[in-house]
Amino acid sequence: MPGHRLDPIDRKILAELQADGRMTNVELAKRVGISAPPCLRRVRTLEDSGYIRGYHADVDSRELGFEVQVFAMVGLVSQAEADLSAFEERCRQWPLVRECHMLNGEVDFILKCVAPDLSTFQTFLTEELTSADNVASVKTSLVIRGAKDTPGVPFEVLEERLSRDA
């Protein structure tokens, strides 16, 4: 299990930064129970190792005028690796697509899209997504409201599992 490569302090650092990536190193060190210099070294090691990929502000899309959020389920004509990769690359180029996940089952990809209004999304849907190479079908679901949006991973579940396995 990948979590075994990290000691409890590393996991605590990750959990704390996941909850609040803006805290100072001094505050982080206090929360995890070590002094600031080794805490900073550990954070840099976690960054260099790829456990921490970046730091981001959690912006309120609706406050910024992005009123429409849609999940688009996309079926492709071909699931050959080159075609899957080409579609993923195309998704990276579309600003309205904020997330792209390949799935197994009836749907090949699910896209999370954000737009300022329904007209903007409809234009994207008809002129970009449905007309893209290799796209066979698109089904969309408009988000009415979100009940939960928690980024990251549930560290408490990992800690519970590691304590059971120990």
Q: What is the CATH number of domain 2-57?
A: 1.10.10.10
Which tokens sit at 136?
């066979």
Reply yes or no on whether the pLDDT at 133 is more than 50.
yes
State mean pLDDT over 1-15: 83
What percentage of the chain exceeds 70 in pLDDT? Answer: 98
- Is 1 a residue whose pLDDT tops 50? no
Q: Which of 36, 18, 58 is nearest to 158 (CA)?
A: 18
Name residues whose C-beta falls within 8 Å of residue 135's C-beta, 6 or more positions apart in sequence. 74, 75, 76, 77, 87, 129
- Decide if pLDDT at 6 tops 90: yes
pLDDT at residue 163 in the model: 85
| Residue 164 predicted with pLDDT over 90 | no
Please tell me the predicted confidence (pLDDT) of residue 85: 98
Domain with CATH 1.10.10.10 in the chain: 2-57
Q: Quick one: average pLDDT of 48-58? A: 94
What was the pLDDT predicted at 166?
72
pLDDT computed for residue 162 by the predictor: 87
Share of the chain above pLDDT 90, in %: 90
Domain 68-142 class, CATH top level: alpha beta
Residue pLDDT, tens place only, 70-84: 999 999 999 999 999
Residue type, 34: I
Handedness of CA 58, 62, 64, 66 (dihedral sign): positive
* Intervals of CATH 3.30.70.920 along the chain: 68-142
Mean of the per-residue pLDDT values for the chain?
94
pLDDT at residue 4, rounded to an integer:
52
